[in-house]
Structure 1
Amino acid sequence: MSEWWTYRPADLLMFAPRTYWRLFELHNDALWPLPVATTLAGIALALGLMRGHTLALRAGAAGLALCWALVAWAFLWRRYASIQPVAGAFAIAFALQALGLLALCAARSLRGTDQRARRGTGLALLAWALLAHPLLALAAGRPLAQAELFGLAPDPTVIASLGLLLYAQTGAGATRALLWALRSLALAWCLVSAATLWTMGSPQGWVPLAAAALTLAGLWRRPIAKPAPG
């Protein structure tokens, strides 16, 4: 028997990478043409946020709540759980995030941030999740049928949510705490996903980590103080 210190993280993986990516192909095929609807809805959200519409921010939070619930049930619970024993816990976390997003969209103090850098970074994350993230399948030599799509797969849905949650701000104490809790759970998933992808030997693990880093940088960036008149 080999000693425990001779094992690598990949030796503890319970499924082959091809099995993991095949899940997305089956998932996309089963829900087609829903990906078209989620992508168009995401583009409409991005356009609304670019114009600074608070209504778009509320509608986006509600729409993302539905996406998190769909990912929780249709992907994590029904598919990923067949190869990953802890996927049931992930599904519960995603369901809780969906409830939190619904509560956020109803918050009266919810509004877009006044910081231009945060707004730009949030929109960039949303654009990546909608348009660029699915193309990572082709970049990695996988068929487009195995692409991770916004609203159906965890990573692009989480990255889009980070964009909206970075764009959003609120003045109320309870709602501010909820906003930070939602950000924290999305950031935690980025770490889980990065670890899973790196364990499979996929360089794509840098993508959720980069999204988390951009979000944290945007949140920690202080607004530039305006000089006093006179």
Structure 2
Amino acid sequence: MGDWLSYAPSDFLLFSARTYYRLFELYNRAIWPAQILALLLGLVILWRLHRGGARQGLVVAAILSGGWLWTAWCYLLGHYDTINWAARYFAIGFVIEALLLIWTGVVRNRLSFQPYRDWTSRTGMGLVLFALVVQPFTGPLVGRDWRQAEIFGVTPDPTVLATLGVHLTVDKRPPWGLMIIPLIWCVLSGATLWTMGSPDAWVMPVVALGALGLAVYRLSSARGQSGIRHSEDS
């Protein structure tokens, strides 16, 4: 028992921080210039959220699902799996999320968004902007090489954060089924970065906690308003 207590969390990590971030550099070099297309598609999401329309949910869900599938195949299986055997299981989760987005938003066309309806939705829109514009610079700001930047649509963290932001702008009640896997990834990513001693390890767990809190608030507010309307009608 004493031997186990002598271990630090980093002793159970399969790779060093240098190896982990170096992997992003190699990955970015291998897929260039896919990052540009991914960011352009992210801007399309912002445009469709702002513009609305009958095909709004279909377009947004299709782009997000494409990002989850790309990340599962090209990053998690194609690169991360070389240093972490658990990456193949993470990839399964990403594929499941992509299929859920396709089923809900593309096949059934059940997603619609109102990003300016209330402060919760506006916060979700801000989270999408953060994932697209700010997060790629988080690494360089804390001392990592800019070639190791994480980009929406091709790497996990910004893709997950943008997806959570989009879910917060969904009309009516939060899509809980679509939020489970992104929230789990935030915890896993935060734990990995914390174990490596990364100064930005707090970002993903804090965003997950905030998104969960906002979704619960949205749900409780909707139920409260529904109860008021029911009382007035009766």
TM-score, normalised with respect to structure 1: 0.89
Confirm or deny: 8 A CA contact 2:168 2:215 kept in the other structure. yes
Work out whether residues 13 and 195 of structure 2, in 8 Å CA contact, stay in contact via their aligned partners in 1.
yes
Match of 1:117 among 116, 119, 129: 119
Q: Is the 8 A contact 2:72 2:94 kept in 1?
A: yes
* 5+ residue gaps, structure 2: none
| 1:147-201 deviation per Cα after TM superposition (whole angstroms, max 9, x unaligned) | 0111111000000111112212468xxxx8xx32220111000000000000000
Q: Deviations over 1:85-144 (max 9, x none)?
A: 111100111111111111121324422258412221111111011000000121111111
Partner of 1:40: 40
Structure 2 counterpart of 1:185:
181
Name which of structure 1's ranges 110-119 and 148-157 shifts more when overlaid on structure 2: 110-119
Paired residue for 2:97?
97
Gaps of 5+ in 1: none
Using the TM superposition, give the Cα deviation of residue 217 of structure 1 relative to its aligned residue in structure 2, in angstroms: 2.0
Do 1:109 and 1:170's aligned partners in 2 also have CA atoms closer than 8 Å?
A: no
Question: Contact 1:71/1:153 (CA < 8 Å) preserved in 2?
Answer: yes
- For the 8 Å contact 1:121–1:214, the answer to whether it is kept is no
Q: Paired residue for 1:197? A: 193
Give the conservation status (yes or no) of the 8 Å contact 1:111–1:168: yes
Identity rate of aligned residues, in percent? 37
Please, which of 186, 201, 208 is the counterpart of residue 204 of structure 2? 208
State how far apart, in whole Å, the 2-side matches of 1:29 and 1:39 are. Answer: 16
SS in 1 for 2:161: helix
| 2:27 is aligned with 1:27 | yes
Which position in structure 1 is the counterpart of 2:82?
82
Q: Which stretch shows the higher mean deviation, 205-214 or 71-80? A: 205-214
Secondary structure of 2:197's counterpart equals: coil
Q: Is this contact kept in 2: 1:57–1:168, CA < 8 A?
A: no
> In the aligned structure 2, how far is the partner of 1:146 from the partner of 1:218?
31
Identify the match of residue 137 of structure 1 among 136, 139, 151: 139
Mapped to 2, the partners of 1:180 and 1:21 lie a distance apart of 32
TM-score, reference length from structure 2: 0.87
Contact 1:24 1:146 in 2 (8 A): yes
For residues 219 and 100 of structure 1, what CA distance do their matches in structure 2 show?
18
Separation (CA, whole Å) in 1 of partners of 2:45 and 2:186:
22
Which has the larger displacement, 54-63 or 133-142? 54-63
